[in-house]
């Protein structure tokens, strides 16, 4: 296992919000496979790398021929213990032939086939910990993050070293992502599974909203439920049935982390989230552990990360969040794609050309009902070769090859600033005239692009030129009203990611809304048995 394996890093970040207006480029989305499609596709979604793995097994066993290698020196019991521990990673030890290996352990004796099985189980488990069990491209055609490509000889050397030293579990620890959040999620998964054996968590019955100052038998259940949620920082010691301030603070923390209105009142929406089945939360942790295995250390240089399900954006510098803001992202049926790109330039006072899909689905129906819609939204009509034509000369039921372009200005759908990163989906970060939507707890409003709150602050950070591009200089350039492109001195990576679990600074694990319903399809493939 190469040294790079010990540098696995997934950004569980504190991000901020972006949103897109109805009038903006629509992202090309990939539908999530339904259950029938998943059943047919799941076999090909599981990462096995059979050709590479066969070569690795052969290479690993070179020099160990003869005798019973895995039965010697307690190697097999150590291997079985490490494989059993994979349950804490959200993986299934049965995928690695543990029952067959245990049967071999009981009967003993030299068996070349079982030697191969044990070696294959060992190396496949390391591979799955290092790069995931599920192929992310099979679930999302947009996925373009560089896959983890372990140095085969380095991996084998580390694997053999761990075996020879009698510390097989150390190879598994080395293969796991090193980001602290990964082990926090592992611990949370173990805790929730323990709660299953203890009878699950309590369901708070429906009824009138529970508010501070009330006395109600359901308050005791709410108190217990919040304690089981892991809000250890709030020691809930009050009278069980009385809704005191201490309980209200704990509930507000729960609401805030769950992207609910943090009003301290247990109303219908809050109770709905509190009462999500325990197994669903277990599956959510498993899905996000797998996602962490997909994304590796992006380095310490400047970069931007958009947390789609968290409605947040962060500017990273030296591995730390230097700036965080809220975003609005794509609606479920026009989802913001997950991918990696490079920010190259900004557009000040951008115009906006209406994409064909937006024109057909959104704009033309409105124009046919009300011609004044064009003027109110500063939309002008052009031919394909760029000539302006009067709107009255267009047959709006059969408009032909026209182009609609929105003039620059504060009312433009992109606001006064767009941040560009070339990509095949025609999405980017941008300002918005609809800043009031940032006040919503859940902000899936756009057609695929990401609207950023306080985007001018991010632009100054990206330009990184306090002499020529201070905030004052940027505002002055925008105030000129001219459409202008400004190149970054050095391109900056951007990642648009989809995580549905958060880890707070104090270790509290919270769950987001799975706005694009991607967790269960991933879990379905994780549950797919591996044919050893």
How does pLDDT run across 47-60, given as a tens digit for each residue?
666 677 787 888 88
Per-residue pLDDT, 149: 60
Per-residue pLDDT, 80: 97
DSSP state letter for 491: E
- Give the integer Cα–Cα distance in Å for 223 and 238: 9
Contact between 329 and 338 under an 8 Å Cβ cutoff? The reply is no
How does pLDDT run across 354-379, given as a tens digit for each residue?
878 788 888 999 999 988 899 888 99
Average pLDDT over the chain, rounded to an integer: 85
Higher pLDDT, 141 or 245: 245
Contact between 289 and 522 under an 8 Å Cβ cutoff? The reply is no
Per-residue pLDDT, 276: 95
Per-residue pLDDT, 42: 47
- List the beta bridge partners of residue 313: 306, 325
Contact between 195 and 213 under an 8 Å Cβ cutoff? The reply is no
- Give the integer Cα–Cα distance in Å for 332 and 447: 9
How does pLDDT run across 298-332, given as a tens digit for each residue?
677 899 999 999 999 999 998 889 999 999 999 88
- Give the integer Cα–Cα distance in Å for 259 and 262: 8
Cβ–Cβ contacts within 10 Å for residue 439, how many? 10
H helices of 258-328, in order, are 268-274, 278-294
Tokens coding 496: 């648009």
Q: Per mean pLDDT, which range of 34-43, 318-327, 428-437, 481-490 is the poorest?
A: 34-43
Grade residue 34 by pLDDT with cuts at 50, 70 and 90. low
> How wide is the angle at C-alpha 120 spanned by C-alphas 116 and 126, nearest 5°?
155
Which residues are CB-neighbours of 386 under 8 A, at least 6 positions away?
none
3-state helix, strand, coil in the chain (%, to 5): 45, 15, 40
């Amino acid at each position: 296992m190469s040294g790079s394996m010990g540098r696995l890093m997934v950004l569980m970040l504190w991000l901020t919000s972006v949103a897109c207006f109805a009038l903006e480029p629509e992202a090309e989305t990939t539908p999530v496979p339904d259950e029938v499609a998943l059943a047919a596709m799941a076999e090909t979604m599981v990462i096995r790398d059979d050709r590479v793995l066969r070569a690795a097994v052969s290479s690993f066993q070179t020099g160990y021929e003869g005798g019973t290698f895995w039965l010697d020196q307690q190697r097999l019991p150590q291997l079985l213990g490490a494989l059993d521990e994979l349950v804490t990673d959200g993986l299934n030890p049965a995928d690695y032939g543990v029952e067959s290996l245990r049967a071999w352990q009981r009967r003993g004796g030299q068996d070349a086939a079982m030697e191969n099985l044990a070696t294959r189980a060992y190396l496949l488990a390391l591979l799955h910990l290092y790069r995931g069990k599920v192929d992310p491209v099979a679930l999302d055609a947009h996925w373009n993050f560089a896959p983890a490509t372990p140095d085969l000889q380095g991996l084998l050397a580390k694997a053999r070293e761990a075996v020879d030293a009698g510390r097989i579990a150390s190879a598994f620890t080395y293969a796991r992502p090193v980001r602290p959040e990964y082990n926090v999620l592992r611990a949370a998964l173990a805790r929730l599974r323990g709660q299953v054996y203890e009878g699950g968590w309590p369901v708070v019955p429906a009824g009138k909203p529970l508010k501070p100052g009330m006395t109600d038998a359901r308050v005791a259940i709410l108190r217990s439920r919040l304690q089981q949620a892991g809000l250890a920082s709030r020691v809930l010691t009050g009278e069980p049935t009385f809704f005191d301030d201490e309980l209200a603070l704990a509930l507000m923390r729960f609401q805030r982390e769950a992207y609910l209105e943090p009003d301290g009142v247990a109303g219908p929406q809050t109770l709905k989230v509190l009462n999500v089945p325990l197994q669903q939360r277990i599956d959510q942790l498993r899905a996000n552990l797998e996602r962490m295995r997909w994304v590796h250390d992006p380095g310490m240089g400047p970069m931007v990360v958009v947390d789609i399900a968290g409605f947040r954006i962060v500017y990273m510098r030296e591995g730390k969040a230097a700036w965080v803001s809220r975003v609005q992202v794509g609606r479920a049926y026009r989802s913001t794609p997950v991918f990696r790109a490079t920010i190259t330039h900004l557009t000040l006072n951008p115009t906006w050309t209406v994409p064909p899909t937006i024109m057909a689905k959104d704009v033309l129906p409105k124009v046919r009902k009300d011609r004044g819609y064009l003027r109110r939204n500063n939309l002008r009509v052009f031919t394909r070769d760029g000539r302006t034509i009067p709107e009255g000369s267009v047959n709006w039921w059969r408009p032909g090859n026209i182009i609609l372009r929105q003039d620059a200005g504060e009312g433009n759908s992109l606001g006064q600033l767009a941040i560009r990163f070339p990509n095949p989906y025609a999405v980017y970060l941008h300002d918005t005239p609809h800043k009031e939507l940032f006040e919503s707890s859940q902000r899936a409003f756009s057609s695929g692009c990401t609207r950023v709150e306080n985007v001018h602050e991010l632009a100054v950070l990206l330009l990184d030129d306090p002499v020529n591009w201070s905030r004052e200089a940027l505002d002055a350039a925008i105030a000129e009203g001219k459409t202008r492109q400004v190149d970054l001195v050095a391109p900056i990576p951007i990642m648009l990611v989809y995580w549905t679990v958060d880890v707070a600074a104090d270790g509290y694990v919270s769950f987001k809304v799975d706005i694009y319903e991607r967790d269960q399809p991933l879990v379905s493939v994780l549950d797919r048995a591996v044919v050893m």
